[in-house]
Amino acid sequence: MGQLAKFEIPESRDRMLDRSMEAMDRSDLLAYQEQRLPEALAYVESHSPFFAETWKAAGLRADEVSSLADFCERVPFVDKDTIRAYRGDRRDSLGGLRRMEHVATLSSSTGTTGDPLVLPSGYGYGPTDGGGLARDWWEIGVRPGDAVAFMLFTFRGAAWLTAHALGASCALFDHHPAEFARWSRASVELQPTLLYLLSGPLIMAMAYMEEAGLLSCDLTEVFASYRGVVIGGEPLGARARADLERWGGEPFLHTAVGDVGSATECREHDGLHLSEDSMFVEILDPQGTEPVREGDVGELVATTLVPRSANPLIRFRSEDLVRASTAPCRCGRTGMRLWPVGRKGDEVVVDGRSILPMDVWQIVEAVPESTAGYFQIVRTGRSMPQLKVRVGFDPGETGRAAVAVRADLTETIASVLGIAAPDIELVDNEVLLRQGPPHKIPRVVSS
Ligand SMILES: [Zn+2]
């Protein structure tokens, strides 16, 4: 099967699929990005009515941008709202990002924070466009001739092209507990080396079904062939991680990069690698336009350098808050690594303390009755006089009365976060799970 691969497959022991790109010196990498930029902008200007119009209104022509410095100074930002506004005004389901005749696959954002956006990818797939995911899978251990199990949420385009590009095959499953029996059987029979992907809620469902005796296979046998399990959606809670590791699955955290690409952990598990040869990423002040100091939390702003095949987004403010590093990783890769910390609209300030869902998460899952880590911050505005949290609760864990659980959560959250006593509302786990898309629940809701 290897001869079908679109990439030049290196020696199997090499942990990099494309060493010349993945370990490129950073100054060469910046020069490479600068060289690709004009062609990318010219393509977008002529193929994306939304960007053509946005740039024209800003008095900008693509051919006036010849360096990354020009780009950062002159190219306007866009975000989900500006694209949604274009979609509404023009009744253009693609938001003007691309014309339908140039679309190869249609996928969508997940819609956790509002109406999902359609993301139209174009034709063309090879080593120079969209190779990032293939590199991630190679690092995890997928090799030509392997099978990969897909369990994707929402409609995510032709992601199986990644398996084909590596000369691997794929078996497709829905991201839903109803698929567990079929997936378990296929895992034992086909011995896939990668599961792309699982999420916290799906792992919790698997653990529940295991405990209730609803699974026909032993999960340690099901996971035995997998070299890695890619984790998408939201951060992996401690309990879900422990369950997955107990079954023998090694989790690799994975995130979208401004909907132009993705980033995945390497086997060092020290940050999520992205492929800077196919995207230009800026980490900017969430409330402004200046870059933050490396290592500080900032908003990820993404530009594709391969708009012909990827979603054609230029200077897209993702609202994702991340820390980033350009220091080389222990694996030898030199590209930027990310540590996602939350969403821009999710931050609340209580008693002068900035609080993100991730800060509340570990506290909630440390209490036995809420160990599933299901909770929601009920937000009345960025600044709130009192933190309000809705917590999913399972009294069956210990038999403690709700009033005692609430007191426990109130006291721990107040003392760990250094704020006045929060308002805790206990609800059944199901109430929160029903609000999802299947792979995550909204961690912040407006009251
Ligand atoms: Zn690494």
| Count of structural domains, the chain | 2
142 CA distance to ligand 1 middle (Å): 16
235 CA distance to ligand 1 middle (Å): 19
Q: Are residues 340 and 356 in the same domain?
A: no
Q: Are residues 291 and 194 in the same domain?
A: yes
408 CA distance to ligand 1 middle (Å): 39
22 CA distance to ligand 1 middle (Å): 10
273 CA distance to ligand 1 middle (Å): 7
Supply the pLDDT for residue 295.
94
264 CA distance to ligand 1 middle (Å): 9
CA distances from 91 to 84, 203, 311 (A): 10, 39, 19
Supply the pLDDT for residue 128.
45
Contacts with 158 (C-beta within 8 Å, 6 or more apart), sequence order: 104, 105, 121
Q: What is the CATH number of the domain that holds 24?
A: 3.40.50.12780
- Rg of the chain, C-alpha, whole Å: 22
Q: 145: how many CB neighbours lie within 10 A of its CB?
A: 14
Contact 277, 101 (CB under 8 A): no
141 CA distance to ligand 1 middle (Å): 14
327 CA distance to ligand 1 middle (Å): 10
DSSP β-bridge partners for residue 255: 263
CA distances from 105 to 83, 130, 157, 200, 323 (A): 19, 13, 5, 27, 31
298 CA distance to ligand 1 middle (Å): 21
325 CA distance to ligand 1 middle (Å): 11
**Which of these three, 315, 344, 373, is where a domain ends?**
344
Q: What is the CATH number of the domain that holds 412?
A: 3.30.300.30
Q: Are residues 370 and 385 in the same domain?
A: yes
392 CA distance to ligand 1 middle (Å): 35
Q: Are residues 175 and 251 in the same domain?
A: yes
13 CA distance to ligand 1 middle (Å): 16
Q: Which helix (H) or strand (E) holds 245?
A: helix 238-246
333 CA distance to ligand 1 middle (Å): 6
Q: Are residues 282 and 388 in the same domain?
A: no
CA distances from 360 to 46, 345, 390 (A): 46, 16, 11
Angle between helices 180-190 and 200-211 (to 10 degrees): 90
The CA dihedral of 329, 333, 336, 341, to the nearest 10 degrees, is: -50
Q: Are residues 339 and 297 in the same domain?
A: yes
DSSP β-bridge partners for residue 111: none
Contact 260, 310 (CB under 8 A): yes
Supply the pLDDT for residue 3.
46
The parts of the chain modelled with pLDDT lower than 70 are 1-4, 110-114, 124-130, 154-159, 397, 436-439
374 CA distance to ligand 1 middle (Å): 30
Owning domain of residue 33: 1-344
For the four alpha carbons of 186, 192, 196 and 197, in that order, the dihedral sign comes to positive
398 CA distance to ligand 1 middle (Å): 41
Q: 67: how many CB neighbours lie within 10 A of its CB?
A: 11
Q: Say how far apart CA 73 and CA 76 lie, in whole Å.
A: 9
Cis peptide bond prior to 197, omega within 30° of 0: yes
Q: Are residues 155 and 32 in the same domain?
A: yes
436 CA distance to ligand 1 middle (Å): 31
Q: Are residues 394 and 278 in the same domain?
A: no
Helices and strands counted in the chain (H then E): 14, 20
